[in-house]
Structure 1
Amino acid sequence: MMLKGIAAAPGIAMGPAKLLTAQAADVKLTEVAADGVEAEVRRFEEAVAQASLELEQLRTSTLAKLGEAEAEIFETHLFLLQDEEFIGAATLKIRDERMNAEYALKQTESQITAVLESLDDEYLRERAADIRDVSGRLLRKLTGQAEGMGLDGTGAAQVLFAYDLTPSETAQLDPAAVAGFVTEIGGRTSHSAIMARSMDIPAVVGVSGWQAAVRDGQFVIVDGSEGVIHVDPDADTKARYERLSVEMAAKKQLERQFRGLPSVTKDGHRVELAANIGTPKDAAAAKAAGAEGVGLYRTEFLYMDRDDLPSEDEQYEAYRAAVEPFGAEAPVVIRTLDIGGDKKLPYLPLPEEENPFLGVRAIRLCLDRRELFRTQLRAILRAGVHGNVKIMFPMIATLAEWRQAKAELALAMQELHERNVPFSEHLETGIMIEVPAAALMADQFAAEVDFFSIGTNDLVQYTMAADRMNEKLSYLTDPLYPAVLRLISSVIRAASAQGKWVGMCGEMAGQPEALPILLGLGLHEFSMSASAVLPARALLSRMDRAAAVAFADEALKLGSPDEIRAAALQFISKLQD
């Protein structure tokens, strides 16, 4: 029997089916006594606080493991915990209608999801899953119900069948135990689908009727590329998919052959493929995955999920642990603290801001808390003696900010001199280009910095005036918008004129369709998730630099990201092995 659905995450999964039955809590209405209402509100607020802490931890682990785009899913969930139309409405039900917290929560959830699911916009309809995910987490806190899906983990990797998988559940799947999954609801833009693609877990969603067709333990094949499920397939079908699996494995094996090789185009042009990391242990994994260095070390992870600031010695040990796996020559670019905006520290109170993404964050916060800044700078300088460390300042918008940051670095060096502590006195220093003002002034910055690293996630957001956390504006967050590409091109030209190198550490650097454009524009370093390094190197080896230059020139003349993407994919399809 064959079932059809929506191809959500490519790949082939074969194995025994594992049917997950939702264990919904039985929520009943209980009237709260008048003198107990405020205690019930406090109980609800405590559940919200506990859920917030869990989501911060999940966001941090997801950011380190999968990247910013996936971690933003849980930032959305954190915002929901502050949403007046959700949390505020449930609190009002407790106060005004004297409902118990569980019932007030479920009533609010039902009302909001009913509205979302009635909309014509598929993307907005699928956001109902986020409401249910957050509501379910709160309900577990209120009822004391345990987390988890109850997978038995016996024998071969299983194919999960469920009505739905929440983003939280998907993020915590173990690819060694879960071969793939199938859900009754969802679409390609659902957060669970996004997570599955990042985790390389084949998935088909929107499959109706599987409950009547699939038995627990039955052998199934999930084709996440075509959106089909074969239940108890015949011998020919099984053999065909086994051949396809072998072909896909061979492709991955071919990519693995590029591990340890330089990143060189077909006509001999050399670039550097580096990895974005979030924790010291990620460095060894990135090296093993074929990265030639670290293009972005997100140091804010050292500051998260704790009760106080990390000491200088603690930071030094963490930076050294990230540097040593790459040896003396491979570059490790350490970004100074990027807190503020969507990232907050409970022990470092910051004033509430109308728009924190445009507020006191990153370098602005560091220049406001200079002792905190110099503590980090001293630790990075000390780690520099163990390898090729480079320092990068985030969210620089003006020359004055850059010069103040350099002055703080000089003071940090002086303090280490006075303490007779060894450190590297000759680290390269650069800035992230993520504010359009810096991009437009790149020629002046290039005269003073050692390098640029383009952070496309924020550069797109600020260029397109579109909050990347606003789901209704997701169509404006494509890095292939011509305006963004033109800014990138002008930054690379300005740096090249001064003999300075340019890297990219945003999500765009790891996207195959962006590779020929960025190569043609002259990007020197591509920093991406570790899993994207070998596919990028394999693709790069089939490209001719001169052809990429001509293609990029033509791409800049196109009028939309869809046109540019289509042209890039056509360019790639014509490449010869």
Structure 2
Amino acid sequence: MIATQPLELRAPLSGVLLALDKVPDPVFASRMIGDGLCIDPTSQTLCAPLAGVISNIQDTGHAVSITDDNGVQVLMHIGLDTVSLAGKGFTRLVEEGQRVEAGQALIEFDADYVALNARSVLTLMLVVSGEPFTPLANGLVELGQPVLQVAPGNRIEEADEEEGDALFSKPLTLPNANGLHARPAAVLAQAAKAFSASIYLHKQTQSANAKSLVAIMALQTVQGDSLQVSAAGEDAEAAIAALVALLTQGCGEAVTTPTAVLPATLLRGVCASPGAAFGQVFQVAEPVLNITEQGAGQAVEQAALARGLAAATQALQALQDDAVGSAQAEIFRAHQELLEDPTLLEQAHGLLAEGKSAAFAWNRATAATVELFQGLGNALIAERAADLADVGQRVLKLILGIQDSAWDLPERAILIAEQLTPSQTASLDTRKVLGFVTVGGGATSHVAILARALGLPAICGVSPEVLALANARYVLLDADQGTLQLDPDLAQIEQLETARAQQLLRHQRDMAQAGVPAITRDGHHVEVTANVASLPEVEQSLGLGGEGVGLLRSEFLYLDRNRAPSPDEQAATYTAIARALGTERNLVVRTLDVGGDKPLAYVPMEAENNPFLGLRGIRLCLERPQLLREQFRAILASAGFARLHIMLPMVSLLSELHLARRILQEEAATLGLATLPKLGIMIEVPSAALMADVFAPHVDFFSIGTNDLTQYTLAMDRDHPRLASQADSFHPAVLRLIDTTVKAAHAHGKWVGVCGALASEALAVPVLIGLGVDELSVSVPLIPTIKATVRELDLADCQIIARQVLGLEEAAQVREALRMYQAATVETSPVVEL
């Protein structure tokens, strides 16, 4: 019987209603799964919006479907990408086939855990059987409040059984890491509906209508399941071919194809910190914290929160004091500033006023902000989210009186973790820990920066199967290659140990000779300068033999604060850095390099679909000329204290250079300066490299930012976990653009530096020198190593190897050729006694 009376669906949670268009997931937002609504929840128990039968509840507990007596099917999906949590944070209260009443509790979930470990806690309620509906509410809703009025009887009926003789596909193996959960199931069902044939998906003795999302999900498939597709009807053969292809390709999800499967003894990731180590697995996992929601009185809980914040501030100050470099100190200084964030504190105190405990209030405030940051799809903001999560856990443990448990580390430990926090990384005992491997994280994250400072090899972006490795299993971590060898042989281990011993001796020699100029064996001098972001880093670089500053990242004055630095503060900082360098050294100041990918809290910026191709660097500054004028005035205050150079980032048009130069001239005239500092541009955009001969007459120098130049040339996000290893600056296309730039500059008597990460790689030094690069601006700790590398080379040989690698096809071939050249160079280099 088909009902004719409208059906009211009630809110399954309390929270804020959002339109599906606002959901940051294209499959949900496009209504491919079904139309309905989204709730940003404030409660943590999912309840039935209607009476009916549980037609499907996922084993993982993140999704449940109810079908009423008239066939209306409603799917509720808690969070985005929550299938990957494998049931953690969810408690199922009902079973498939059970009859439930409207308002009955279905699933309990830990919103804080979901928010911290999945993409979002946004919860969907979708009418997947296709009936039209009318919204009954908006804004804030309470559990059980009517939110939709459904008109039953208007849906398109699906075939219930196959008609005629059915055709069957050959068995196929499901590649999806989390099986056919809502997203891929919707893609499959949508594709099946394009055919008139009745189509079924079979798993062992179970079958499901392939045009029904709920039926597909009810199969509870997992990766590796053997499936078959059957179809009956005039287009059955075409339907089977199309759906088998779709299933094999992952139904819209990225999957590893059988041809790309790595040997079972080798796992791959992305190098976060170079080096290699042989040791035993030690799995790292954080304990679950028990948080009580209700407090013992507002005054008591406010005092508890204040004590936690004060203790955390003291601990972070100690980490700053113990940091091995100013870049590391800056990370924990930024963590301290998060503890003073007024918005965060306002949220926490608001919850305290509602009677919540200090632990609950702080955790809810930080978790909500972390979720917000993670949902913005921005690499830099995601890193900020990781910092906030780290700070949040630190304060939470202090409020709860839980001491950070010291890991009982074995000797020669290789840590394995879903993710390490900056605090955990900075506190690692390097006498026992030889390296680490993580599933999450990125090569440019704060954890990676700390690992490099500690000299620990590390790789990130490894398959989650690494979390199943048994403790005490011996493995070989080769971060340079981005691999974890699970069954290394004796020869590999001996080779590694020999290499480690040689690296230690070389490092000692390089440090002892840090002050020796970087001059090749045939007398060619290469200037080795530093990439810095603070006065302490400048001072550290000088102690390590740095010959100047090739890149001062001026945005360090602007980031991690709620208002712009004053002109006086900026001028004082630039002047102090210039004084530290002195009049015989170069100071290259890059103007503000922020924008869509690096937003400032106090500079309004519109959200951009692709911030890396949006208002970045000079584009943003020219749109806000007062910002650029103020910075030029502050930089010019340091003129005369060092050999001042000003560098413009992200220049792609000659008109941008001309306009910036005119503003600089006007500001210099206002200050009464008769002589302008040198003005140059960064070569980060392929158009600038290709037009270097046009730019060269109008600049004093070029500095090549190989990080951005690589990602724009190869169309690969350098922070993408699966593409980062391919977004390689050794690619011949990138090297050819460097070659083009150098030739154009030298033809006009201008010098060229490289300030991207490529300059800090010893392996790249021969090819950069061979291409004619005049200056290498490198990471501060690597200055002695790069200078020593230059001293081992002959310019003539470098020119030969540079010409050779320009003709190769891929980055891997370039690296291999340079390794062979490096090995030959080391063998013929004279040994210098310490």
Is the pair's TM-score, using the shorter chain for normalization, greater than 0.5? yes
Does the 8 Å contact 1:171/1:195 carry over to 2?
no
State how 1:127-276 maps to structure 2 within 5 Å: 140=393, 150=404, 164=417, 166-169=419-422, 172-174=425-427, 177-181=429-433, 186=438, 194-195=448-449, 198-202=452-456, 211=471, 248-276=503-531
- Structure with higher Rg: it is 2
Distance across 2 between alignment mates of 1:510 and 1:208? 35
Distance across 2 between alignment mates of 1:259 and 1:497? 33
Does the 8 Å contact 1:330/1:387 carry over to 2?
yes
Match of residue 286, structure 2, among 12, 19, 22: 22
Q: Deviations over 1:290-326 (max 9, x none)?
A: 1111110000010112221112211111112222222
Match of residue 512, structure 1, among 762, 767, 770: 762
Distance across 1 between alignment mates of 2:784 and 2:682? 25
Distance across 1 between alignment mates of 2:663 and 2:630? 10
1:406 aligns to 2:661 (yes or no): yes
| 1:280 aligned residue | 535
Q: Deviations over 1:207-234 (max 9, x none)?
A: 97765799xxxxxx999999799xxxxx
| 2:714 aligned residue | 464
1:482 aligns to 2:732 (yes or no): yes
Shift in Å, 1:511: 1.2
Distance across 1 between alignment mates of 2:634 and 2:524? 36
| 2:297 aligned residue | none
Aligned residues: 474
Q: Deviations over 1:175-229 (max 9, x none)?
A: 7x53353689647997699556523443588597765799xxxxxx999999799
Shift in Å, 1:477: 1.4
Shift in Å, 1:286: 1.1
One-letter code aligned to 2:584:
E
Label 1:329 to 1:208 Cα distance change in 2 as closer, same or farther (>3 A): same
Does the 8 Å contact 1:11/1:223 carry over to 2?
yes
Distance across 1 between alignment mates of 2:612 and 2:278? 40
Label 1:258 to 1:320 Cα distance change in 2 as closer, same or farther (>3 A): same
State how 1:53-452 maps to structure 2 within 5 Å: 65=327, 140=393, 150=404, 164=417, 166-169=419-422, 172-174=425-427, 177-181=429-433, 186=438, 194-195=448-449, 198-202=452-456, 211=471, 248-417=503-672, 425-452=675-702
Label 1:178 to 1:389 Cα distance change in 2 as closer, same or farther (>3 A): same
Distance across 1 between alignment mates of 2:610 and 2:416? 37
Label 1:500 to 1:564 Cα distance change in 2 as closer, same or farther (>3 A): same
Does the 8 Å contact 1:433/1:454 carry over to 2?
yes
Distance across 1 between alignment mates of 2:635 and 2:385? 43
Q: TM-score, normalised by structure 2?
A: 0.49
| 2:190 aligned residue | none
Distance across 1 between alignment mates of 2:679 and 2:732? 29
Distance across 2 between alignment mates of 1:250 and 1:369? 51
Identity of aligned residues (%): 32
One-letter code aligned to 2:515:
G
Label 1:151 to 1:268 Cα distance change in 2 as closer, same or farther (>3 A): farther
One-letter code aligned to 1:267:
D
Q: Which has the higher helix share?
A: 1
Match of residue 570, structure 1, among 812, 820, 823: 820
Shift in Å, 1:339: 1.1
| 2:218 aligned residue | none
Gaps in structure 1 of 5+ consecutive residues: 31-53, 75-99, 113-128, 215-220, 230-239, 418-422
Shift in Å, 1:478: 0.8
Does the 8 Å contact 1:303/1:309 carry over to 2?
yes
Does the 8 Å contact 1:163/1:183 carry over to 2?
no
Does the 8 Å contact 1:520/1:550 carry over to 2?
yes
Q: Deviations over 1:34-87 (max 9, x none)?
A: xxxxxxxxxxxxxxxxxxxx9xxx9xx99972799x99xx9xxxxxxxxxxxxx
| 2:42 aligned residue | none
Structure scoring higher RCO (CA < 8 A, sep ≥ 6) equals 1
Coordinate RMSD, CA, aligned: 4.8
Shift in Å, 1:328: 1.1
Does the 8 Å contact 2:752/2:773 carry over to 1?
yes
Q: TM-score, normalised by structure 1?
A: 0.69
Shift in Å, 1:330: 0.9
